[in-house]
Structure 1
Amino acid sequence: MNEPMRAATAAYEQTIRSTLGLAGTLGEADWRLPTECPGWTVKDQFAHLVGVELDLLGDPRPDVDLPEFDHIRNDFGRVLEKAVHVRRPVPGPDVVAELADALERRLAELPGLDPDRLVTCPDGREGPYSRFMKFRAMDCWTHEQDIRRAVGRPGNLGAPAAHCFWDLMSPGLPRVVARLAKTEPGQSVALKISDPLDHHVAVRVDDDGRGHWTDPENPTVELAMTWETYVRLTAGRCTPEAVTVEITGAQDLATRVLPNMAITP
């Protein structure tokens, strides 16, 4: 493994093991709790993780007829839902056992894979397999946090995979500010993120209408929020009304930026 692949694999393993440890604390009622992913319960989140890992291992995909679910909006969502739906009658601990087995199989497989092999990553861009694994770490961690919020057991917010989330998602902020929020040239938006990850960054829209990173001092508006709030907004888990954001400066610009922060692929 090269260093990027080693780091991504370690982050991936850490968050799945943290999720497996969390599963050991769950009671029967916890498995049925809804999460911020529409249509998915806590157990469904585990089933999703299992389905993706088994797919990457090359196991046959489940052959199941899906009902018409309101939360499925495209063919990709339908593919993902099959692994979830086929496990809805399966007890939660059995789904967790599947995930634990899939993790060990993946960890045995990964050292033999070429970290530089080009693949299509979840954002649609081609990149080395090490970058794909960074996305896997981020995705698994995001679902771990979904589960933790649903069952009221916070933790692992500052995990290595949390840094993967920032590295992969923050490059989308210039587009959010310039294109989606339609920020005027010369204006800038600063984000002050804290607890447990700290980031103080800003995007300025230049005369060409594009967003560029800039100094976070004296922005048109500053949005201060916790790391968890940033993750929930960026992952599309909630609306701005559901979280606390301290706004300093141009309120009208803030009201255009915050609803457009959901940029997960």
Structure 2
Amino acid sequence: MSLHPTLQPYADAWTHSIEAISALVQPLVEADWNRRTPCPGWSVRDIVSHVMGLDSEMLGDPRPIHALPRDLFHVTNEHQRYMEMQVDVRRHHTAPEITSELEYMIIRRNRQLRNENRLPTATVRGPLGTELTLAESMRRHAFAVWAHEQDLRAALGVPGNLDSPGAYVARDVLLAELPRVVADDAQAPRSSAVVFDVSGPVEFLRTVRVDIQGRGTLETSPALGPAASLALDWETYVRLACGRITPEAAGDRVKTDGDPELAAAILRHFTVTP
């Protein structure tokens, strides 16, 4: 058996992003590995270490036995502590050690994907002992690796791949969170609608409708007379949704209309990644 067709887009997105990451970091000099990225507390080296840690767990490798330092200001909750373990254990690795491990990891993961014959509904282990379907695991992983590719590009000043296969996986992952952001977090009024108009390499128009019970649903049809509307470019959308910039830092790249308090509340709660 070969990879299930439902899973193939996620495998393709991961492959595209991980190869892009490899190409980005292979020529770096040692100093470039220490550049800051948009992820708080993480350097280029840390991002690559994190990505390798994610793939290591997808392979079923045992997690490292390692004690985290107590002075990591950016680690404030259990999820962050979990993710930091794979990063901190590699923090003193040299550039050749990191790139060699990355290349070997890519070979192993490609082999795993070629031999993957489980159904998308198969249950697999996720972070912190959670359980999820194989499809959801691969979907989240493809999104994470693409997002971190963008972190590396921002740190290294090499923009690109905003419309790659991973970008479209990211779009769907982030859009799925919009009803919660609008209806639950921002507390949009019942029987109202909020429109998001996103331009750029990945463009879309989406409406979140809030019903009389206060439940939000995502629709592709535009709304007449929405309570609020937000217009922004795709890169800004991603950076806000992934917590890479604040609404204040986005500045005039976000145009709002309608209820200003509702628009501000949505932007305050726009970050949906852990």
Q: Would you say same fold, with TM above 0.5?
A: yes
Q: Is the 8 A contact 2:26 2:99 kept in 1?
A: no
**What residue number does 2:260 align with?**
251
**What residue number does 1:224 align with?**
231
Q: By how many angstroms is 1:211 displaced? A: 1.4
Structure 1 pair 121–80 and aligned structure 2 pair: CA distance change class (3 A): closer
Q: What TM-score do the two structures reach when normalised by structure 2?
A: 0.89
**What residue number does 1:147 align with?**
152
**What residue number does 1:260 align with?**
269
Q: Which amino acid aligns with 1:190?
A: V
Q: Which amino acid aligns with 1:240?
A: P
Q: Pick the aligned partner of 2:86 from 75, 83, 87.
A: 83
When the two chains are superposed, the root-mean-square deviation of aligned CA atoms in Å is 2.0
Q: Pick the aligned partner of 1:159 from 147, 154, 164.
A: 164
% same residue: 38
- Separation in structure 1 between the aligned mates of residue 130 and residue 244 of structure 2, nearest angstrom: 23
Q: Which amino acid aligns with 1:255?
A: A
- Separation in structure 2 between the aligned mates of residue 104 and residue 256 of structure 1, nearest angstrom: 45
**What residue number does 1:65 align with?**
67
Deviations 1:201-241 (A, max 9, x none): 01122211111234324322211111111111111222111
Q: Which amino acid aligns with 1:245?
A: V
Structure 1 pair 64–30 and aligned structure 2 pair: CA distance change class (3 A): same
Q: Report SS of the residue matched to 1:29.
A: helix
Q: Which amino acid aligns with 1:108?
A: R
**What residue number does 1:52 align with?**
54
**What residue number does 1:203 align with?**
208
- Separation in structure 2 between the aligned mates of residue 264 and residue 234 of structure 1, nearest angstrom: 7
1:96 aligns with 2:105: no
Q: Which amino acid aligns with 1:67?
A: P
Q: By how many angstroms is 1:27 displaced? A: 3.4
- Separation in structure 1 between the aligned mates of residue 158 and residue 28 of structure 2, nearest angstrom: 10
Structure 1 pair 115–102 and aligned structure 2 pair: CA distance change class (3 A): farther
Q: By how many angstroms is 1:88 displaced? A: 1.4
Q: Is the 8 A contact 2:40 2:74 kept in 1?
A: yes
* Number of equivalences: 265
Q: Which amino acid aligns with 1:188?
A: A
Q: Is the 8 A contact 2:79 2:128 kept in 1?
A: no
Deviations 1:179-218 (A, max 9, x none): 1111112322111111100110011222111112343243
- Separation in structure 1 between the aligned mates of residue 95 and residue 127 of structure 2, nearest angstrom: 27
Q: Is the 8 A contact 1:121 1:131 kept in 2?
A: no
- Separation in structure 1 between the aligned mates of residue 64 and residue 214 of structure 2, nearest angstrom: 47
Aligned pairs (5 A) from 1:234-245: 234-243=241-250, 244-245=253-254
Q: By how many angstroms is 1:124 displaced? A: 9.6
Aligned pairs (5 A) from 1:30-41: 30-41=32-43
**What residue number does 2:218 align with?**
213
**What residue number does 1:115 align with?**
119
Structure 1 pair 237–73 and aligned structure 2 pair: CA distance change class (3 A): same
Structure 2 unmatched runs, 5+: none
Deviations 1:89-126 (A, max 9, x none): 11234212211210110110123331332235569986
Deviations 1:101-154 (A, max 9, x none): 101101101233313322355699865313311211111001111111112111
Q: Is the 8 A contact 1:5 1:131 kept in 2?
A: no
Q: Report SS of the residue matched to 1:156.
A: coil
Q: Report SS of the residue matched to 2:176.
A: helix
Q: What TM-score do the two structures reach when normalised by structure 1?
A: 0.92
Q: Is the 8 A contact 1:202 1:216 kept in 2?
A: yes
Structure 1 pair 82–213 and aligned structure 2 pair: CA distance change class (3 A): closer
Q: Report SS of the residue matched to 1:223.
A: strand
Larger displacement relative to structure 2 (33-42 or 90-99): 90-99
